[in-house]
Copies of this chain bind each other. A is one copy, B any other.
Amino acid sequence: MSLTQLEAARSGQITPEMAFCAEREKLDAELVRAEVAAGRMVIPANKVHLAGRLQPMAIGIAATCKINANIGNSAVTSDADGELDKLHQSLHFGADTVMDLSTGKDIDRIRKAIIDASPVPIGTVPIYQMLEELGGNIEDMKPQHFLDMVEHQAKQGVDYMTVHCGVLMEHLHLTTGRVTGIVSRGGSLIAKWMIAHRKQNPLYEHFDELCEIMRQYDVTWSLGDGLRPGSLADASDAAQFAELEVLGHLVQRSWQIGSQVMVEGPGHIPMDQIEMNIKKQIEICHGAPFYVLGPLVIDIGPGYDHITSAIGAAMAGWYGAAMLCYVTPKEHLGLPDREDVRQGVIAYKIAAHAADVARKRPGARDRDDAISKARFEFDWNEQFRLALDPERAREYHDQTLPQEPFKEAHFCSMCGPKYCSMKITEDIRQMADQAELVSLSTDGSVDLSTASRTN
C-alpha cells in the first residue's frame, strides 16, 4: 500500500506533491517535507483526486495563509449546475480549497461533478449525506453506516473530511447554559445520537478505524469543532475547550496511525480573545494546522458577516491559523448565491493576504508594492490587473469616468484633477529635487518646543 504524505515525509521522501507545493509556495522542498513530517503542514490529496485534476495545496503555518469556500446545495434551494457555477466562481476569485456541504438532492452526483472539475482540494462533512440516507433520523445511524459513508466518499476522491469525533458525552452538560447551544450541524447531530442512545460518540469510539480509511486514500482529517461557540456570549467557554483537549489527543492518535490531520476552530470570538484562542489551539493540538471559521468578532452584523468575520480571520491568520474558512454575506440568513460566493472569497483573500503581510511571509508584500507603484503612476489598467477583483475595480472606476482617455488620466472622480494628492506630489517633485529639499530643511529649522507666533 502506498504511503500517505505524512508517512512519506517521515521516511525522508520528498513526494511529487511536496515538490509541487514547494514550487508554488517558493519554499525549499526539504522544508515542506520536514513540516509535513512534523504534522505542522498537510497536503490534502486523495489518491483518487490526485489521479484526476488535483493540484496539491499545502496548508500549514510555513505556507501562505489559505482560504476555503463552502458551497453545496440545501434541501431548500439550488442544484448541480448552480453548485458547479459556485465552484468556478470560488476558483476564479482564488479559493485555495472548496468544501461541498450539500445537504439536498443529488448529493453523490453533485460531489462527483465538483471533484471531477476541481483543481483544488475538496472537503466534505460525511454526516450530512449519512443523514440524507437515514431519511433525517440521525438516531438510526449505526457506527458501521458511518464508516461505510466515509469510505464511500474517500473512494470518490474527497481530499479532506470534517468529522466531529471530539464531542463527548461528558461535554454535553457544559452546553446547556449556552445562549446559542450547539451551532455545528455535525456536532448537534452527534450530540442528538449520543443522547438518544445514552452512548459515547461513535466517531470517537471508532476513531482508529476511521484513521485507517483516511490513511488508505490519504484523506486528511479536518477535526470538527462540534462545540464551537455560536455567539460572543459562548466564546472561550468550558465546552469549547473541553472539546479542544480531546482534539489534541486525536491529533496524536491520527499521527500515530499515519493519517494527516488539521483541526477546526471557532466561530464567534471577540477580538481580545483571538490571540489566546489561536495560541492555545496550536499548543494543545501540538502544532497541527488550525483551520478557523472566521471568527466573527460581533454578532449584530447579519447581511455583513463576511466583514464581521474577515476581521477575526485576518487576526487569526496573523496569530498563526493556517486556513480561513470563508463566511458569506448570507451567513445566518440563507444559502449563498454566486455573488455571495464572490463577496465571501474576496473578503477572505483580503484577510489571508493581510495575515501573510503581517507575518512577513517572503514576498507577501510584492503585489502591494506593485499596485502602489501603479497607483502613484496613474497606471489604471495595471492597478486593475493587480487587484484581487479586477472586474469590480474597473467597474467602480468606470461608473463615473468610463471614457478611454480617463484610463490615462492623472486623477479619478474621487478628488478630480485639482485635488489629486498624487498629482500634486508629481508637481512637487518637479519643483524641487531631493538635494534642494534637504537644503531647505536645514535652512530655517524650527524650534518645536514653541510653535512661533508670527503675524
Contacts and interface: CB of A to CB of B under 8 A. Distances in A.
Interface in A397-442: 397, 399-401, 412-422, 424-429, 431-432, 434, 437-438, 440-442
A331 B412 CA distance: 10
A452 to B, nearest CB: 6
B376 A181 contact: yes
B270 A357 contact: yes
Interface residues of A, number: 148
Given A233-B369, A233-B372, 16 more contacts: A74-B419, A131-B419, A169-B440, A169-B446, A172-B440, A182-B428, A188-B422, A188-B425, A204-B446, A249-B450, A271-B315, A272-B318, A307-B310, A330-B414, A332-B412, A335-B414
Contacts of A279: none
B198 A434 contact: no
A197 B41 CA distance: 60
A122 interface: no
B209 A415 contact: no
A375 interface: yes
Interface of A: 74-77, 103-104, 128, 131, 136, 168-173, 175-176, 179-185, 187-189, 191-192, 195-196, 198, 200, 204-209, 230-234, 245-246, 249-250, 253, 270-272, 297-304, 306-308, 310-311, 314-315, 318, 329-337, 346-347, 350-351, 353-355, 357-360, 365, 367-369, 371-373, 375-376, 383-384, 386-389, 392-393, 395-397, 399-401, 412-422, 424-429, 431-432, 434, 437-438, 440-446, 448-455
Contact of A428 (B192, B234, B386, B448): B192
B195 A428 contact: yes
A434 B173 contact: yes
A442 B170 contact: yes
Given A333-B393, A446-B204, A365 B421 contact: no
Nearest to A360: B272
Given A206-B454, A412-B333, A417-B75, A438 B173 contact: yes
B393 A451 contact: no
A103 B416 contact: yes
Given A170-B442, A180-B422, A422-B181, A308 B75 contact: no
14 contacts: A170-B441, A170-B445, A195-B432, A198-B440, A270-B354, A271-B314, A271-B318, A272-B359, A299-B371, A299-B372, A302-B396, A307-B346, A315-B315, A334-B414
Contacts of A303: 387-389, 392-393, 395-396
Given A103-B415, A104-B416, A424-B189, A208 B74 contact: no
A131 B304 contact: no
Contact of A307 (B207, B350, B449): B350
A219 B114 CA distance: 61
A354 B172 contact: no
A103 B416 CA distance: 9
Contacts of A438: 173
Given A181-B376, A182-B428, A354-B308, A386 B418 contact: no
B419 A185 contact: yes
A298 B419 contact: no
Contacts of A401: 76, 334
Contacts of A448: 245-246, 249
A195 B249 contact: no
A253 B451 contact: yes
A416 B301 CA distance: 21
Given A185-B415, A452-B205, A334 B250 contact: no
B103 A173 contact: no
B76 A425 contact: no
Q: Which of A418, A429, A434 is most buried by chain B, counting CB atoms within 10 A of its CB?
A: A418
Contacts of A383: 302, 332
B314 A451 contact: no
